[in-house]
Structure 1
Amino acid sequence: MMPPLGIRWTIGDVNPAGFDALRLSIHGAMRLFGSEAAYRIYVNTIPVDEARRRVGAIADAVQWLPVDSDIPPLLRTYLGDGMAEGVAWKLLPLRAFPDQFELSLDNDVILWRIPPAMTQWLRSGDAAASLIAADVAAAFGQFTDLCAPVARNSGIRGLGPATAFERGLERVLRIKPVALRSELDEQGLQIAVLDHLGSPLLVETSEVTICSPFYPHDPELGRSGAHFVGLNTRVLPWDYYGKPATEVRLAHWHAVRPQVHERLGLDPPQQ
């Protein structure tokens, strides 16, 4: 038996491929966790109705909310004007399901099997247990010195109902009271908090690959899922072996989409 679970995503005005990935991420989560879980998407920078339209028919199966523009006092001091580079959208609100196990997925994380570490997190009986995804390289921004030297990313983050996430944030920001300037700072902050609270369980990259055509990422799908990093960006401002990186990124996505659909039990995608 799984404990009560809430799953949350955050989406903004990203590349259309990012909305395609979100659609498949919803399909995957609902296929794995069914009607017993709660599903919620927080929308920033675009109207909720527009985000729903871009996702398609499955949008009706989940709850959609605008991100509350009222930044928690705990974070307000550390955020610059304009939420530079989308920093901290994934922290608004701090908890979506405070009385449940809460799984936060990036919109470009698609699961077709529950990773073993996630099963362990949900069945451990430890309401304070947490979960994070492994990565192929460590990128923690200004919080590097507060994070254990293990490559991880916040594309998958799990909090138990008794995980003292807000208290951990307050503690880490007291130790390092710096303004968040990038998504790496946001990621490093979250991982520093989980390290401070205890050793989070780790979803290995063999289970959920950091999936892109760019080394050191893995172009192949994992046993349990894939995190399609870089898919949200409208323009990658560099070339990869003489080709525009944006074109290379999208070509890889379109090449693996049929496999993703198959693993989710969906009809082949329309080209």
Structure 2
Amino acid sequence: MTGYAVRARGVRKRYGEVRAVDGVDLDIRRGEVFGILGPNGAGKSTTVEILQGHRGRDGGEVTVLGEDPETAGRDWQARVGIVWQDESAPAELTVAETVRHFARYYPRSRDPDEVIALVGLEAKARSRTKMLSGGQRRRLDVALGVIGRPELLLLDEPTTGFDPVARRQFWGLIRELAAEGTTIVLTTHYLEEAEALTDRLAVIAAGRVRALGEAATLAGRAAARATVHWTEPDGSVRAEETDTPTRAVAELGRRFDGEIPGLRVTRPTLEDVYLRLIEAENAS
């Protein structure tokens, strides 16, 4: 797949005196999983709402799947799926009834049973929504988001409140959807999730994009100095920052004449980079 699913330039949105989105630029390629990171109040959800057409913007230009979300019609809306933080499924309907009901809204919906299987709810198809666990209800929300065969799926904090097992299962579902060619935009507070799932990501703070790129190279992460850790014969733990970790390890190898006790070589994690960006914003 080629081209861009999303292009945004200078997007702005103000609530009173608060600049929720303050000149955001984004290019999201078709078929990629794109992550948006940022603290509470950074403008992540507002940005997603603007991309979906749920909220108007005060300025800037936005093109999503070739159209302006503010003026796009029903045909365009059927091409975009969204999973909000709040649950949308009727409590009294069963899983199967809910998915079949929502399928009728779309001109070329997927087979409801196929979607229920895709999100791992086959065993719960006859259960009422109110009887599902939190993770199962979130899976149902995703089923409703993909039932219309969207080209673009917007996920706003999809795993908030999940336990670790449910979160990993949900990651598998996102990977399956991405493998089918769905473009996915994911907002999340979980840095491990962003690193595991996204092809690229943006860090947003105070309504602006502060960094953009692959998780492994974000904000110069790949080129940052490494830290070599080792344990001395007396049991003390040592660490040295260096631009040449291979040379440092070789020198330690000669000194220890073989195996180096407690050897570890680390570079800044995504969390380190993220916190540095947010702290720099807070200090400005």
Place the TM-score, normalised by the shorter chain, in its bin.
under 0.3
Q: Select the structure of larger CA radius of gyration.
A: 2
Report the TM-score, using the length of structure 1 for normalisation. Answer: 0.28
Report the TM-score, using the length of structure 2 for normalisation. Answer: 0.27
